[in-house]
Amino acid sequence: MDSAGVSTDLTGRFAGKVLFATGGGSGLGASTARRFVAEGGQAAVVDLDAARAQAVADDLDGSIALGCDVSDERSVGDAVRETHERLGRIDCVLNSAGYVKFTPIEELSLDEWNALLAVHLTGTFLVCKATLPVLRAAGGGSIVNLASVAALLARPNLAAYAAAKGGIISFSRQLAVDAAADNVRVNVLAPGSVRTPMTADVYGEGQAPHAIQARLAEPEEIASAACFLLSDDSSFFTAATLVADGGATAL
């Protein structure tokens, strides 16, 4: 058991498999990469902050770190190519790169709107587009895209982030249909409030609002759900949105 009480039995679910994890230098991406490798796989830890990615990959056997801006098509293409060259295959993809910004709509500049959509929605599109042929070549695979309960519930001053996350759910459903014939599954994970660097300024050490379980999730609790979706344990899941929110959407 880890500190959050989540089982960390090394089941070997990912033996022989490679994960391409964006946002892998921090928070949910790092936590998922760690669990994926603990269960026998290898990870390409991909992040805008290459040093952060390297620090995570240094502790993960057989894994590599790559600097990459997911909103830049060439940068994404290079990272996918290098992963394929160095690790030989890609079976699983996690789109976890992102950031959050709270701004009232009247103060939301077009630049800020575009930048947020570029990282979350366009970045998810570009990574899926570049990895799909590699997954098809491997005979199938699993893509997990991070949305948020912000796609399902309105919160003040979160319009651009919520729009991007809603777009990720719709895009992923479309991709699931297009990729199904080649045994590629595509699912969305929609967490509630998780204790990561992204939310440190939002919640500090405080309680998450609006959840039945009135606490922040630990990253490992979301990584276990991500690894379920990445693994064959979720073989009948595709085009689904898995909500892991401590009950926030019930209230």
Ligand X SMILES: NC(=O)c1ccc[n+]([C@@H]2O[C@H](COP(=O)([O-])OP(=O)(O)OC[C@H]3O[C@@H](n4cnc5c(N)ncnc54)[C@H](O)[C@@H]3O)[C@@H](O)[C@H]2O)c1
What's the min distance (Å) between Cβ of 112 and ligand X? 14
Query: Which residue is closest to ligand X by CB?
Result: 27
For ligand X, the closer CB: 99 or 133:
99
Task: State phi, psi for 4 to the nearest 5 degrees.
Answer: -90, 5
Could you say which of 125, 161, 171, 228 is catalytic?
Answer: 161
Q: Where does this chain bind ligand X (CB under 6 A)?
A: 22-23, 25-29, 47-49, 52, 68-71, 96-100, 119, 123, 146, 148, 191, 193-194, 196-199
Phi, psi of 14 (to 5 degrees): -110, 20
Least Å distance, CB 213 to ligand X, is 14
Nearer to ligand X, 45 or 138 (CB): 45
Tokens 């800020």 belong to 112
Three-state DSSP at 66 gives strand
Least separation in angstroms between CB 38 and ligand X:
18
CB 151 within 8 A of CB 161: no
Concerning whether 161 is annotated as a catalytic residue, the answer is: yes
| Residues 6 or more apart in contact with residue 247 via CB below 8 angstroms | 211, 212, 213
Tell the smallest beta-carbon distance from residue 139 to ligand X (Å).
Answer: 28
Residue 120 Cβ vs ligand X, minimum distance, rounded to whole Å: 6
CA distance 215 to 62: 35
**Which amino acid is present at 134?**
V
Q: Which is nearer to ligand X, 26 or 231 (CB)?
A: 26
Taking the least distance from each CB to ligand X, the nearer of 47 and 221 is: 47
Closest listed residue to residue 144, CA positions, set 224, 88, 67, 27: 224
- Whole-angstrom CA distances from 47 to 29, 86, 89, 171, 251 are 9, 17, 19, 22, 34
- Distance, CA of 5 to chain centre: 22
Q: Which is nearer to ligand X, 96 or 238 (CB)?
A: 96
> Among all residues, which ones are annotated catalytic?
161
